[in-house]
Chains A and B, each alone.
Chain A
Amino acid sequence: QKEVEQNSGPLSVPEGAIASLNCTYSDRGSQSFFWYRQYSGKSPELIMSIYSNGDKEDGRFTAQLNKASQYVSLLIRDSQPSDSATYLCAVNILHLTGTASKLTFGTGTRLQVTL
């Protein structure tokens, strides 16, 4: 089982619709959860972070975390063509030595927002 799993997509949504991106993780010791947006040929850009169960909203973005189900999601409201990108789910897992932390990424979901 992969540590962080995402559907690779592509997920196609029409402009103005809600895009729903999902991610599951395997390590119950995971402490923090992030969504990054990556445009083709560019580096990942942090768009949301969430640390506790529930919802966190920032503009058109809502991150949802359910630690019991080991599930984190990202909702994008009023999707725009400029939202077309790969969305990477990242989970921060304390390193085995206990002195570091690392981000473990899923393979990303490619989102296409159509006109």
Chain B
Amino acid sequence: DAGVTQSPTHLIKTRGQHVTLRCSPISGHKSVSWYQQVLGQGPQFIFQYYEKEERGRGNFPDRFSARQFPNYSSELNVNALLLGDSALYLCASSRGQGPTEAFFGQGTRLTVV
């Protein structure tokens, strides 16, 4: 079975632009969460989606939004990019919405210039 897949793997954007990151969870997993990891820090929780509904949101501005599709894949959107948005964006797939194991994709490295 394929693991969690994310696209693109690398991205360079200019301040003020918009970006869309994509994630396909492990087959059979219905929960997708998004995390941001900056250098030297642990991943920070952005969103959790389960059964196409937002179930939790971390301390991120409204410029960040996400959605989950009927096939459980997900998109993370970031508007009005700032230099500080440069980070590794990670998608985590888990079977249910509760405190179960989560598996990460390879991540999208976003650089804002």
Contacts and interface: CB of A to CB of B under 8 A. Distances in A.
A28 interface: no
Interface residues of A, number: 27
B48 interface: yes
B90 A43 contact: yes
Interface string A1-40: 0001000000000000000000000000001101010000
Interface residues of B, number: 27
Contacts, number: 67
B88 A43 contact: yes
Contacts of A42: 106-107
Interface stretch (A54-62, A76-84, A93-101): A93-101
Contacts of B99: 31-32, 92, 94, 101
B4 to A, nearest CB: 9
A43 B42 contact: no
Contact of A34 (B44, B56, B58, B101): B101
Interface of A: 4, 31-32, 34, 36, 42-46, 49, 88, 90, 92, 94-95, 97, 99-108
Interface of B: 33, 35, 40-45, 48, 50, 55-56, 58, 88, 90, 92, 97-107
